[in-house]
Amino acid sequence: MATRKTTTEDVFAFTAFDPAKFGDSYREFTEKGMSQSKEAYDKFKTAAEDATKTVEQTLESAQAGTVEMGLKAIDSVRSTADSSLTHLESLMGVKSVAEFIELQTAFVRSQAESAVNHVKGFQDTARKVADDVSKPGKAAYEKAAKSFKA
């Protein structure tokens, strides 16, 4: 006796659906997603480490620059104080008003020249410190720009 299929059985039959193929496709999709997530995490981790190094280098440069500027300021104050004391000693030995005016004029001129030299020194040091502080950031930017181009 032959079995006869009814129309109802044909409608509910899933002959085209193979659960093994579905499982394989799902597994491949999941593995690909995990692989991409791991790559993205590795890139993010590397970028975060690079950013941390950049900040550390910038702070170290800024600290060194601050120390250098402080030492310049101390030298400037010391130089000014020394020349003022020397000038005061010279004024103690003044015997005439003309000699006083001559000493005072020379002192004011030398203080003005000294001030100009100190300002130039501060400018040079500030420029150097600014370059040193910005160098890690520039390097990080260039590295990031190259990675985006690639």
Mean pLDDT, residues 2-23 taken together: 59
Residues 21-59 pLDDT 10s: 767 778 888 888 899 999 989 888 888 888 888 888 888
- Comparison of pLDDT for 105 and 12, the residue scoring more: 105
In this prediction, residue 7 carries a pLDDT of 53
Neighbouring C-alpha atoms within 13 Å toward the C-beta of 122 = 12
68 burial class (0-12, 13-18, 19+ CB within 10 angstroms)? middle
Q: How sure is the predictor about 146, in pLDDT bands with cuts at 50, 70 and 90?
A: confident
Whether the per-residue pLDDT at 83 is higher than 80: the answer is yes
CA-to-CA distance for 75 and 104, rounded, in angstroms?
A: 23
**Structural domain boundaries of the chain?**
54-150
Residues 111-143 pLDDT 10s: 999 999 999 999 999 999 999 888 888 888 888
